[in-house]
Amino acid sequence: MDGVTTVALIDIASGMVVRSAGELDPGFPAAAASVADEARAARLVLGPGLPAGELEEIAVVTGTRLHLAKVLQDKPEEGYLLFVDMDRARVNVALASKQVGQLAPAVLA
């Protein structure tokens, strides 16, 4: 995808980076752990079977970056996040979310 700088597969339970590609800065492992913490916290708040449904994606938008973390398995405390870091000037937020969602199932195939 145009504008992607980093892609990583993150274990939700541990926050560890399983695989990655692209430009990793030294703080990336800490950021990955933070995103996994956020996913676990959101799952606790949403709870299974609540009207809000299951957690599908976490998006963080700054002035220059777009971070999308797609949940690849929706079992509590299990699964992976597909983390994609993008240059916000080169992507449309909604389109990027849709494209990452379409590509995500192929990651575990």
pTM of the model: 0.85
Using CA atoms, how far apart are residues 2 and 71, in angstroms rounded to an integer? Answer: 21
Q: Say whether pLDDT at 74 is over 60.
A: no
First CA to last CA across the chain, in angstroms? 19
Q: What is the pLDDT of residue 38?
A: 92
Mean pLDDT, rounded, for 56-81: 85
Q: Say whether pLDDT at 11 is over 80.
A: yes
Mean pLDDT, rounded, for 75-104: 88
Mean pLDDT, rounded, for 88-93: 93
What does the H/E/C string look like for 34-99?
Answer: HHHHHHHHHHHHHCCCCCCCCCCEEEEECCCEEEEEEECCCCCCCCEEEEEEEEHHHCCHHHHHHH
Report DSSP state, residue 12.
Answer: T
The string of pLDDT tens digits covering residues 14-68 is 999 999 999 888 888 888 899 999 988 888 887 766 666 778 899 999 999 999 9
Tell me if 96 sits within 8 A of 78, measured CB to CB: no
Using CA atoms, how far apart are residues 83 and 100, in angstroms rounded to an integer? Answer: 9
Q: Say whether pLDDT at 91 is over 90.
A: yes
Residue showing tokens 């599908």: 56
Q: What is the pLDDT of residue 21?
A: 93
